[in-house]
Structure 1
Amino acid sequence: MVPSLAVPAARLGTMTQTYTAFLRAINVGGRTVTMQRLRELFEELGLARVRSYIQSGNVFFETEEADRAALTARIEEHLERALGYPVPAVLCTLDELEAIVAADPFAGIEVTPELRLCVLFLSEPLPAELAPPASSPKGDWDLVGATANAAFVVLHLQNGRLGGNPATLFGRAYAGTATSRFFHTTVKILAAAKK
């Protein structure tokens, strides 16, 4: 007997999407979770091909869920229930991550020991009042570029230290969720996501 090649009606029109979940509040401030446990939590949600990259909360997975906002909420709710504290998440498709790395507005910036190149992954675009180029009043950061889902920031170390959490740079001017990764780490995350 020849096996049927028919696609079940419920699966017609669905497409598997590869995402990277950029998580905030993972393995900082005394809150620790192993990457094995984090992968298990994503698998409990029925997500496929779950993998993680380094200890800072970068999780790759596949899903056919089309509603990104609902998927993000589901992930955040599950992580908070399991870990006991809020874990904001920003989801990025593989194509979006490739576009963020390709945009590279840092290309003309001379890197010095006093600078850090940072990508803020955004849940929603920056408001008009934060359009690049922009700088902080204290001179500790410069916003050099932005896409709909990322902001590119040059951090200036003060007395050899970062002035705070880059994900909160914009304060109340930005109502969405942001989580940060250094640009060189973002390039490595993209390479790992493509494997």
Structure 2
Amino acid sequence: MNQIWGAFLRGINLGNRRMKMAELKDCLEAAGFAEVKTIAASGNARLRASGAEDTIKPRLEKAIVDRFGFPVGVVLRARDELEAMLDDHPFGMVDRKADFTRHVLMFDQPLPEGIVLDSLPGNTEILRIDPREIYIAAYRQPNGRYTERVEEVLKPLYARVGKSNLDTMRNWNTIEKIL
């Protein structure tokens, strides 16, 4: 089926893994993807493609490694999945007066059932765990930072799933802009 996809690249524009979004757009168009638009400079693209996730993902990853010379994992979400995330997010339960940032950690495979993560109240709060997403509120700390303890909260998750399940975290503003 020909549809809109959100592609979220993991670990780019860090160290020597640099790419300009205009070059990413050119790369994806050259690989046959249509209506390509990049969002922010952290490896987010909206595109139109035919096929299922398990055929589009390897095409994207191959095009990127061929063009940029390093492998990049891609987490994909179909338009209907993105719309469902936008329609049913849990951020409304957070006090609107609080100084926090909204994030979603997306996985390319379903998480094991029964995952439980403890929040750090006033710091990093796990709002909801879905099969392939974790919604996080990160509160501003006295040093002005928001997300510095997220890894600590997620450590039990990574101990359980290891590195076999590709993930990438995005600010919720990016999810709101992707469609």
Is the pair's TM-score, using the shorter chain for normalization, greater than 0.5?
A: yes
Residue 165 to residue 83, structure 1, CA distance change in 2 (3 Å) = farther
Provide the residue aligned with 1:10 in structure 2.
Answer: none
Taking the aligned partners of 1:141 and 1:157, their CA distance within structure 2 comes to 9
Q: 2:159 aligns with which of 172, 185, 188?
A: 172
* 1:36 has 2:22 as partner: yes
Larger Rg: 1 or 2?
1
Provide the residue aligned with 1:5 in structure 2.
Answer: none
Residue 141 to residue 129, structure 1, CA distance change in 2 (3 Å) = farther
Residue 40 to residue 156, structure 1, CA distance change in 2 (3 Å) = same
Residue 185 to residue 46, structure 1, CA distance change in 2 (3 Å) = closer
Structure ranking higher on relative contact order (CA contacts 8 Å, 6+ apart): 2
Shift of 1:74: 2.4
Partner SS for 2:94: coil
Provide the residue aligned with 1:154 in structure 2.
Answer: 137
Q: 2:106 aligns with which of 117, 121, 141?
A: 121
* 1:55 has 2:44 as partner: no
Gaps of 5+ in 2: none
TM-score normalized with structure 1 length: 0.75
Q: 1:184 aligns with which of 165, 173, 177?
A: 173
Partner SS for 1:128: coil
Shift of 1:89: 0.6
- The number of residues matched between the two structures is 171
Shift of 1:16: 0.9
Gaps of 5+ in 1: 1-14
Shift of 1:144: 1.6
Taking the aligned partners of 2:24 and 2:149, their CA distance within structure 1 comes to 26
Q: 2:8 aligns with which of 12, 19, 22?
A: 22
Provide the residue aligned with 1:6 in structure 2.
Answer: none
Partner SS for 2:109: coil
CA contact (8 A) 2:103 2:136 kept: yes
Q: Superposition RMSD on alpha carbons, in Å? A: 2.6
Shift of 1:98: 0.7
